[in-house]
Amino acid sequence: MDHLQQFHARHVLPLPLAKDHGWQLKRYAILANGRDFDDHIASAAVAEAFNRLPTPGSLKDATGNHGVGFQIVHFAEIAVVSPVFYWQWGSVLSNIRQIRAKWETPTIFENGIEEIVGCIWEMDVVSFEINAWKNTLLTGAGTPKERLSAYIERRLI
């Protein structure tokens, strides 16, 4: 049963913050065994994410999103998959439909499987980002702008 192999951590790379279309996205790459990081592929993934994200809101918006989120570009064995998450209503993590590119055309992202949130390696990043949001934005220490800056600076390394 190859799908029930022993778990081995994968290399996670923090990528530069991406700002576009009014959004701020923290970004990470995950490298499966035998896969290398490719900036051209990561750039295509973030461009697709910006095309799919809803209209950005602000931290002041209590009824919508905050224009802040994170993206994972997973250089996996069978494809490049890229879940994208964003914050809304102060404490709710939302996501766009997973985007996925075949290795034959790794910069052309299409829809992934709708029900999938992410794999076990991606959930490590999600867990970190949930804690970073909770421990910076939801602390009440400092102004919202200062807390957002602290959140953006926190990176899984």
Task: Write the pLDDT tens digit of every residue in 1-30.
Answer: 477 888 889 999 999 999 998 999 999 999
- Predicted model pTM: 0.94
Local confidence band at 31 (pLDDT 50, 70, 90 cut-offs)? very high
pLDDT (tens digit per residue) in 132-155: 999 999 998 899 999 999 999 999
- For residue 55, is it within any domain? yes
User: Which has the closest alpha carbon to 49: 73, 16, 75, 31?
Assistant: 73
93-123 pLDDT, tens digit each = 999 999 999 999 999 999 988 878 889 999 9
- For residue 138, tell me if it sits in a domain: yes
- Name the domain count of the chain: 1
Beta-carbon neighbour count of residue 79 at 10 Å?
Answer: 17
What range defines the domain where residue 15 resides? 11-153
Classify residue 119: in a domain, yes or no: yes
Q: What is the pLDDT of residue 38?
A: 98
Write down the pLDDT at residue 7. Answer: 84
Position 1 scores a pLDDT of 43
Helical pair 144-153 and 120-136, crossing angle rounded to 10 deg: 150
Between CA 67 and CA 65 the distance in angstroms is 6
**Contact indicator for 148, 59 with CB cutoff of 8 Å:** yes
Phi and psi torsions of 88, nearest 5°: -150, 160
In a domain, 2, yes or no: no
The answer as to whether 4 is a domain residue is: no
Domain annotation covers residue 76:
yes
Residues 44-83: pLDDT tens digits? 999 999 999 999 999 998 889 999 999 999 999 999 999 9
Within a domain: 5: no
Question: Is residue 117 one of the residues assigned to a domain?
Answer: yes
Q: How far apart are CA 10 and CA 68, in angstroms?
A: 25
List the beta strands (DSSP E) in 11-150. Answer: 11-20, 23-31, 65-75, 79-82, 84-88, 92-95, 99-102, 110-111
Residue 80 CB coordination number (10 Å): 25
